[in-house]
Structure 1
């Protein structure tokens, strides 16, 4: 069994307590590795190392932007070189299929580091026009020590999303990956070490949300916290961060509407609906878990959707033929089954799935059949609460205004999609949907170039794109009086 160490001040070290927790394979419950169980003492050491790297070295100096860019680019290149190894770790740890981890997750992680490498040299202030003999300008400066907490469903992606922009802006970082899927971040830490990232610039501590995450969010020497996870935990993180008014970015839950009009390309829309809800077994904050179909295509669409859903192969995540792996834990599996049972008991029509698969080869895994319900209205529990599993609710609508009303009738606002050949309608809908992301004739298109973040209870602030650098910097105004005039004062 592999034993990992946390990464603090450029060294791989055990936790202060010397204790570990186990990483478990959700496909067969095999123990994969022992991970350090960090505590507040480890967080304090990591923050101290990050603080020293920020304040006592030239890492944050604007003149080091080229160096930061080169290091980020090297990290991206090394991730690409190790794609097979990293994808396997990701699949074993999370239950995601190797198809997803190798063709999507690891590539996108490399893309993210390379994108922010390009931006590292483009961070600047501006000269301001002033009606006086003076020079007025702004500086965009790094914040200092940043803290970040990742979610378990996209381990290597969140390592990249949290690390790359923080470093590009000249900050230092303490990162806590999700306890359930810590190995990907610790593997990437080996790459940080390999490319020569200066000591203390990135520190990785592993452990529980209460024992590590909350301490990091509360820490008085951490200038900013970035969190990805559930809305419930996001509230806790925000309260902790508020204790010393640190900047916060929260990317939280979703209940995203996938809206299909009568004139949509049916085949593409069905394919996208399948991807939108069953990618990563529905364990995705932007999952299209509410499918809104206009009445003219409803029957045909549902028929095709159900037929194709029944063909989805559940299996070993390392099997290239598998199209959906297990849920992350038995607890998660049970929570999803409770939602399914609620739907059955409360008048929702079950169209397919709805139980644990009967295949004995899958009996050790945390599997759930891809499940589709027909929903009579949007007030139902399965249409309002984030399930975080392979459960789709299908709703029928008549008019554009009705579709819009249903789409916005949720406490969340993370993502959405509109399927139509009418560009004017697409743009009307995009303007009125209350979500941070609107795809038109597409679903799950995430890129480092585009900002990612939500409205309402899906959080605030942005990951990705040049906009997210605003989350990792602060603006200073500098005014230089160039006149030789006497200073005007009201006082004798």
Structure 2
């Protein structure tokens, strides 16, 4: 039996209270599978709301730091347990809000639980090192110290996992938080915030505010009491965040997407490769920063690979993510839907050949949703827009290469460098790929999308500011090193 939902208005969470914005305006969140259905409403906040949130975090930062890393870890364990108890509800909300299939949404929420527990355990791990001193009568060591108030700006495509992989390390390492999620995923984010609220964190440690990026996001980056900003989102917005943060001299961390290549060598296992390309390129309707968008195939096996790929893509069921048997849901919003359509038209105009799909799906099942059939282009040249710009949709561009060396050159011919993969059974091929590819995440005989929570995640070139998220690497961003020298009197 399908759950009957009641539309709800979610407030801002400031200083451990759920509060309305004085603007008295709200933003409606639409179900992309049925645009006539509202998932809920969030606050259209003002700079006044933001000032309250940042001030609350500023007032709480000293006491939060002083309770110690172990105690902070215990709070994260509590949040993890509460999130796990609410997994079904949060996952279903995610599917309704941004279109991801229910199994994917459950998997993402479970990943959020795992991330919280991973960083909760950081509460009992070391926060520094002892260093030999040239003075035999002295003790010298380092310790990690929190940055202070950290702004967290997150996208809509992973409304549970991305906020949590930023929030959890920031909190356990002693920072206080102001979270601003993308409005398209803000209802799901609010449900995650409810879990933090129920865990009983001290007042002001965790604050949540919704609203437009141009108003709230920019004001957060520019706020004089902010000590650091971590951002995941579009390339253009990320560059503006970097400029603002650099001008103020605060620490910033950016993850800005990719144009991720998959190289298919002439000795690849094609069945394995086709499955991985489809999963990596089309799961979540291609709305992943690590999605496989360019598939560079050796000319010797190109035709066979293309035939197998089209055959398997034709089996994909597109529909409402809550429906059993749906493999791919709609685009997450009208804006993203229109963007994908525009890129498909650009591909045609540039001279690429659309060999499969790309049309808007119609009929009763699709009438009120943002549905596009997965698209496959061939005869794509590296300089084409569809081979250079991030589409963030279910579009795969096939590019033919005469050698591994040419394939790597094509793969590197982009401003992005987030993830990349190769399919080969030749160890020399994979070693050359690992050495030459310009990407922060390199995968062999596996899809380009995805990363394990205990491993560093981030890109090269225009994909990232260079610092890494997740795993132990998160400590490098969310803390500063203090060197201590002690000598007896």
Q: What TM-score does the superposition give when structure 2 sets the normalisation length?
A: 0.95
Which of 107, 116, 121 in structure 1 is aligned with 2:119? 116
2 CA distance for matches of 1:424 and 1:72? Answer: 44
Contact residue 97 and residue 320 of structure 1 kept, 8 A:
no
Which of 434, 438, 461 in structure 2 is aligned with 1:434? 438
Contact residue 123 and residue 140 of structure 1 kept, 8 A:
no
**Superposition map of 1:74-473 within 5 A:** 74-102=78-106, 104-133=107-136, 134-443=138-447, 444-460=449-465, 461-473=467-479
1 CA distance for matches of 2:291 and 2:108? Answer: 16
**Deviation (angstroms), 1:480:** 2.6
Per mean C-alpha deviation after superposition, the further-off stretch among 115-124 and 254-263 is: 115-124
What secondary structure sits across from 2:124 in the alignment? coil
Contact residue 90 and residue 184 of structure 1 kept, 8 A:
yes
**Deviation (angstroms), 1:28:** 1.1
**Deviation (angstroms), 1:320:** 2.4
CA change 1:78–1:379 in 2 (3 A) is same
2 CA distance for matches of 1:17 and 1:395? Answer: 51
**Superposition map of 1:65-76 within 5 A:** 65-76=69-80
Contact residue 380 and residue 387 of structure 2 kept, 8 A:
no
> 1:43 aligns to what?
50
1 CA distance for matches of 2:129 and 2:346? Answer: 56
> 1:487 aligns to what?
none
Instruction: Mark the runs of 5 or more structure 2 residues left unpaired by the alignment.
Output: 1-6
**Deviation (angstroms), 1:466:** 0.5
Matched, 1:474 2:477: no
Contact residue 99 and residue 320 of structure 1 kept, 8 A:
no
What secondary structure sits across from 2:139 in the alignment? strand
What secondary structure sits across from 2:82 in the alignment? helix
Contact residue 98 and residue 333 of structure 2 kept, 8 A:
no
**Deviation (angstroms), 1:256:** 0.3
Aligned-pair Cα RMSD in Å: 1.4
Contact residue 88 and residue 98 of structure 1 kept, 8 A:
yes
What secondary structure sits across from 1:182 in the alignment? helix
1 CA distance for matches of 2:145 and 2:76? Answer: 19
Contact residue 148 and residue 176 of structure 1 kept, 8 A:
yes
Contact residue 297 and residue 400 of structure 2 kept, 8 A:
yes
What secondary structure sits across from 1:273 in the alignment? helix
**Deviation (angstroms), 1:26:** 0.9
2 CA distance for matches of 1:414 and 1:296? Answer: 28
**Deviation (angstroms), 1:481:** 3.6
1 CA distance for matches of 2:347 and 2:248? Answer: 43
What secondary structure sits across from 1:307 in the alignment? helix
> 1:490 aligns to what?
none
What secondary structure sits across from 2:53 in the alignment? helix
Contact residue 147 and residue 227 of structure 2 kept, 8 A:
yes
1 CA distance for matches of 2:314 and 2:204? Answer: 50
2 CA distance for matches of 1:76 and 1:369? Answer: 37
**Deviation (angstroms), 1:326:** 1.1
Equivalent pairs, count: 479
Superimposed CA distance per residue, residues 140-185 of structure 1 (whole angstroms, 9 cap, x where no aligned partner): 1011110010001110112211210101111110000111110122
Contact residue 39 and residue 93 of structure 2 kept, 8 A:
no
Per mean C-alpha deviation after superposition, the further-off stretch among 462-471 and 472-481 is: 472-481
**Deviation (angstroms), 1:42:** 1.0
Which of 11, 26, 33 in structure 1 is aligned with 2:40? 33
> 2:3 aligns to what?
none
Which of 44, 52, 56 in structure 1 is aligned with 2:59? 52
